[in-house]
Amino acid sequence: MNEIYDVEKYNKGIKKVLITKEEIAAAIEKAGKEISATYDGNPILLVSILKGAFVFMADLCRAITVPCEIGFMCAKSYEGTDSTGVVNITMDLEHDVSKYHVIIVEDIVDTGRTLKDVVALLRARNPLSLRVVTLLDKPSRRKVEFDADVSLFTIPDLYVIGYGLDCDEYYRNLPYIAEYNTEA
Ligand code: IMP
d(CA 2, CA 6): 7
Of 142, 152, 170, 68, residue with least CA distance to 106: 152
**Domain containing residue 37: CATH number:** 3.40.50.2020
Q: How confident is the model at residue 1 (pLDDT cuts 50, 70, 90)?
A: very low
Tens of pLDDT, residue by residue over 109-147, are 999 988 998 999 899 999 999 999 999 999 999 999 999
Ligand 1 pocket member 162 (CB < 6 A):
no
Task: Tell me how many domains the chain contains.
Answer: 1
Looking at residues 83-93, what average pLDDT do you find? 78
Ligand 1 pocket member 109 (CB < 6 A):
yes
Distance between Cα 52 and ligand 1 center (Å) = 8
Q: Is 157 a catalytic residue?
A: no
Task: Assess if residue 149 is contained within a domain.
Answer: yes
Indicate the top mutation candidate among 14, 77, 154 to test ligand 1's pocket, ranked by most ligand atoms within 8 A of CB: 77
pTM higher than 0.85 for the full model? yes
Task: Assess if residue 119 is contained within a domain.
Answer: yes
pLDDT at position 118 is 92
Task: Assess if residue 57 is contained within a domain.
Answer: yes
Average pLDDT, the chain: 92
pLDDT at 156 over 60: yes
Query: By alpha-carbon position, which residue is closest to atom 13 of ligand 1?
Result: 78
d(CA 17, CA 177): 6
Check 59, 107, 110, 166 and give the catalytic one. 110
In sequence order, what are the beta bridge partners of 132?
104
Alpha helix stretches (DSSP H) within the chain: 7-12, 21-39, 54-63, 113-123
